[in-house]
Amino acid sequence: MTGKDRILTTLAGTLADRVPFVPNIWQWFYVNEFKGTLPDALRAYDHPVKVLRALGADIFSKFEGDVRTVTYRDCDYTLETDGDDLGRARVWAGFTWFEKYALRHERVGTPFGALTHTWQYERETGAPFEKEHWWKTWDEYAAIRYMVEHTVTRPDLDALERGMDLIGDDGTVIFQLLETPLKKFHWLAGQENASYFVIDHREEMRELALLHEKNCLEYLEQVIDLPNVLVYEVADNVDTQFYPPRWFREFCLPILKKQAEMIHARGKYLFLHACGKLKALAPLFVQAGVDCLEGQAPPPLGDWRLDEARATSDQLIVCGGMDAPHQELRGAHAAAELDMYVRETFASMGDKRRFLFGSSCNTSPLTPYENLISFRDAAWRYGKLG
């Protein structure tokens, strides 16, 4: 089977030839490229997809599926970049593009005042960090509301086509949708301030959530009938620490149920990125109609074993398992430990249908390449189906 056939067959719940091996190595690749620590066998490759192909992985890429472009209607928007030269014309860091430089400064002018925001890309970690959030004090609520109400999101279909061409028959994309209102609060204000705002100003936050929900549905309407796109993902980062069940029920469940209904009516799948502690939210995932929690981390980083997720619903697709503690194993016995871990994990998954063995959120930059090969070989060995 091709990687694309293997993934789509698995999503449908029928038997592929083996469990798909779908590691996420984007961060791992860019950090090791920057440090000059890519193994010799990979130094000729300039893109993570090419490394995955060389590794023999089944390519399941949300980065080639994140083609959102954002404008602010009736606002004055400016973007400036500076800081360290990244050595590349463009770097995609999972949430935004960095154009050559490590600092990205944005400003949105509204009738209620200007809002500013700064991203910083750190090459040593391959990750972006918000140095300055849009929403700093409650006094900026009117400006934030205006910005959200005037946010327009469109897909860059040319970028999507380039990404799908790059992947070819070796896999497919996970098309990225807008985040839930609760995650939008986190992006705007940071998790701490957002939590205080929800507690202290419930009605205003509900109004803001409805405005963002409208944006979510408008974007989904634009992309839901795209040909050859079967998997859509809500771009959150679910963890019960900042997604307590009562807040998930209020600010996430309504939009997820609407999205799931629309997507399922087309015979497609709704994923939710969720790589933290999840067990307390399990009934709500089922109620929402989510098909898969992508990037699931088993204990000790998470609190929900893969077999527990499998037991929650026969229809739930389980995706994850390659956790950081095992990724980073070193020493003479690392390969044997990884083999045992994969064997036991796969044995816990019953008939292994609807199971995608992949990274728990991402692959640590500290992962030896030999461990990726060990994961792959064990997945091929113990993931045979039929």
Which among 375, 379, 381, 382 is positioned nearest to 335, based on CA atoms? 375
pLDDT at 170: 98
- Average pLDDT, whole number, for the chain? 95
Report d(CA 43, CA 17) in Å as an integer: 31
Mean local confidence (pLDDT), 320-331: 96
pLDDT at 373: 97
Q: Compare 86 and 318 and report the one with higher pLDDT.
A: 318
Count the neighbouring beta carbons within 10 Å of the beta carbon of residue 301. Answer: 14
Residue 220 has pLDDT above 90, yes or no: yes
Q: Helices 191-200 and 181-189: crossing angle, nearest 10°?
A: 120
> Which of 149, 175, 198 is where one domain is finished?
149
Q: Are 193 and 277 in the same domain? A: yes
Tokens of 183: 């995650």
Q: Are 262 and 306 in the same domain? A: yes
Q: Are 194 and 324 in the same domain? A: yes
- Band of pLDDT at residue 123, cut at 50, 70 and 90: confident
Q: Are 254 and 351 in the same domain? A: yes
User: What contacts 280, CB < 8 A, 6 or more positions away?
Assistant: 240, 244, 245
DSSP code for 139: G
Decide if 120 contacts 128 (C-beta within 8 A): yes
Q: Are 123 and 172 in the same domain? A: no
pTM of the model: 0.96
pLDDT at 25: 95
What is the number of domains present in the chain?
Answer: 2
Share of the chain above pLDDT 70, in %: 99
Q: Are 313 and 360 in the same domain? A: yes
Place of tokens 């990404």: 163
Mean local confidence (pLDDT), 170-193: 98
Decide if 134 contacts 141 (C-beta within 8 A): no
Q: Are 88 and 142 in the same domain? A: yes
DSSP code for 364: -
Residue 183 has pLDDT above 90, yes or no: yes
- Band of pLDDT at residue 99, cut at 50, 70 and 90: confident
Q: Are 321 and 375 in the same domain? A: yes
Report d(CA 363, CA 324) in Å as an integer: 7
Residue 376 has pLDDT above 80, yes or no: yes
pLDDT at 357: 98
Count the neighbouring beta carbons within 10 Å of the beta carbon of residue 277. Answer: 18
Strands 113-122 and 127-132: antiparallel
pLDDT at 335: 97
296-308 pLDDT per residue, tens: 999 999 999 999 9
Backbone angles phi, psi at 342, to 5 degrees: -65, -40
Count the neighbouring beta carbons within 10 Å of the beta carbon of residue 210. Answer: 13
194-214 pLDDT per residue, tens: 999 999 999 999 999 999 999
Query: Can you tell me whether residue 357 is helix, strand or coil?
Result: strand
pLDDT at 338: 98
Q: Are 30 and 113 in the same domain? A: no
* CA 24 to chain CA mean position, Å: 10
Range in 27-36, 66-75, 246-255, 328-337 with the lowest mean pLDDT: 27-36
Mean local confidence (pLDDT), 349-361: 95
Which among 158, 153, 204, 212 is positioned nearest to 182, based on CA atoms? 212
Decide if 65 contacts 233 (C-beta within 8 A): yes
Report d(CA 367, CA 327) in Å as an integer: 5
Query: Can you tell me whether residue 274 is helix, strand or coil?
Result: coil
Q: Are 218 and 345 in the same domain? A: yes
pLDDT at 125: 84
Q: Are 195 and 338 in the same domain? A: yes
Place of tokens 């803001």: 208
Share of the chain above pLDDT 90, in %: 92
What is the four-CA torsion angle of 223, 224, 227, 229, rounded to 10 degrees? 90
pLDDT at 87: 81
pLDDT at 95: 76
9-43 pLDDT per residue, tens: 999 999 999 999 999 999 999 999 989 999 999 99
Mean local confidence (pLDDT), 238-257: 97
Q: What is the CATH number of the domain that holds 301?
A: 3.20.20.210
Quote the domain boundaries for residue 255: 3-68+153-382
Backbone angles phi, psi at 344, to 5 degrees: -70, -40
Count the neighbouring beta carbons within 10 Å of the beta carbon of residue 315. Answer: 11
Tokens of 115: 């809002």
Q: Are 137 and 158 in the same domain? A: no
